Amino acid sequence: MNLRFDWLLLASILVIVCLSLLIIFSIDPGLFKSQLVFFLVGFLFYFFFLKLDINILKSLAVPLFVLSLLLLASTFIFGGVTRGSVRWIKIGFINLQSSEIVKPLLIAVFASLASSLDINKLKSLIYLVLSLLPPLFLIFKQPDLGSSMVVFFIWLAILIAVGIKKVYTLTGLLLFGITGPLLWQFLKPYQKQRIFTFLNPDFDPLGSGYHLLQSIITVGSGQFMGKGLGLGTQSQLNFLPERHTDFIFASFAEELGFLGASLLMVFYFLLLWRILVIAQESQDRFAGLICVGVFAMIFFQLTINIGMNLGLLPITGVTLPLFSAGGSSLVATLTGLGMVTNISLGLDNKKMIEIG
């Protein structure tokens, strides 16, 4: 029996995860073992979806959609309040974040619908909008603005990839422009404060602006070569909040500098580039849209997370995929990448390595 791997995809994943484990061990050794366990569990999901017949996901679109809604709704019933949000369900010693777990499920749902319907018929577009609104609403109500933005971006990327008419896109943008100001009324006070802080972080440097300013200071202090593992003052002395989750990139940049951060970005680029190549080479519409959805999920989270670490974007609590500490995000991302690898292995590609 031969086992095949897309070596570039797998190598990119392993390097990013190894760099993550390295910085987590440096800044918080107590988290290293649990993160390693999450990685191993995530790889079990990776290999499960790698071996699964990808067309099964297409036929299970409705059950996956219902499961996603049940997972999101159960958060309000069984979840606990943490810093004003209800995002986690405690199962034994594990905290499950439903808004992360449903992302690969929703990618399969959106891809299945978009590949089965005539996207440029109004009725089909209504079906697609109705597939987005319930999960988006439930995620937004947790409240989890970051994850709701990610899910919306995944949906939008799939629609664009499938060839939605420009008139629908322009109409949607116009409606968003008109109704956008009304959405401000639905934001929580702390979410509004984050936007104000982004616009003027020096207004309250020891309060609302503290996270943003400390992140910028931490990144800058790493300079070109970094201070060295275990020697980052901002992250090691706890000046930087959420140093292992939302601001782990700042911790990494402080200890390994611009050089280390650039190396990390190179492997993210290779990962995203490879996913796009697989999407383009796929002859199956559903499979190609799965790749587009996974690409959108990783690209958007990567852009938002690093943007907020550099002070270029407001703080939204979006994790850095494959890198931030936490099990739900890691397992969800590896699940999505398992789907992509599955599709890649179905291609006639000479870049595969055969073992056995």
- DSSP labels for 113-165? HHHHS-TTSHHHHHHHHHHHHHHHHHHHTTT-HHHHHHHHHHHHHHHHHHT--
Among the listed residues 307, 285, 289, 293, the one whose alpha carbon sits nearest the alpha carbon of residue 335: 293
User: Which tokens is 316 given?
Assistant: 């939204």
What DSSP designation does 221 have? H
Render each residue's pLDDT in the chain as its tens digit; 356 residues. 355 678 899 999 999 999 999 999 999 888 999 999 999 999 999 999 999 999 999 999 999 999 999 999 988 887 666 655 566 677 666 778 889 999 999 999 999 999 988 877 888 888 898 999 999 999 988 878 889 999 999 999 999 898 887 777 777 777 766 766 666 666 666 666 666 565 556 555 555 567 788 888 888 888 888 898 988 888 887 788 888 888 999 999 999 999 999 999 999 999 999 999 999 999 899 999 999 999 999 999 999 999 999 988 888 878 999 999 888 999 999 999 999 999 998 885 444 444 33
Sign of CA dihedral 238, 239, 242, 243: negative
Nearest-angstrom CA–CA distance, 107 and 299: 14
Q: Which residues on adjacent β-strands are paired with residue 97? A: 88
Residue 355 has a pLDDT of 39
Residue 171 has a pLDDT of 74
Number of domains in the chain: 1
Q: Which residue type sits at 118?
A: D
Q: What is the dihedral of CA 245, 76, 299, 171, to 10 degrees?
A: -150
* pTM assigned to the model: 0.89
pLDDT in tens, 304-347: 999 999 988 888 878 999 999 888 999 999 999 999 999 998 88
Q: Which residues on adjacent β-strands are paired with residue 355? A: 3
What domain range includes position 328?
Answer: 3-355
Residue 199 has a pLDDT of 58
Helix (H, G, I), strand (E, B) or coil at 3: strand
Residue 208 has a pLDDT of 57
Residue 226 has a pLDDT of 87
Which residue intervals of 184-320 are DSSP H helices?
189-199, 210-221, 233-236, 248-281, 285-309
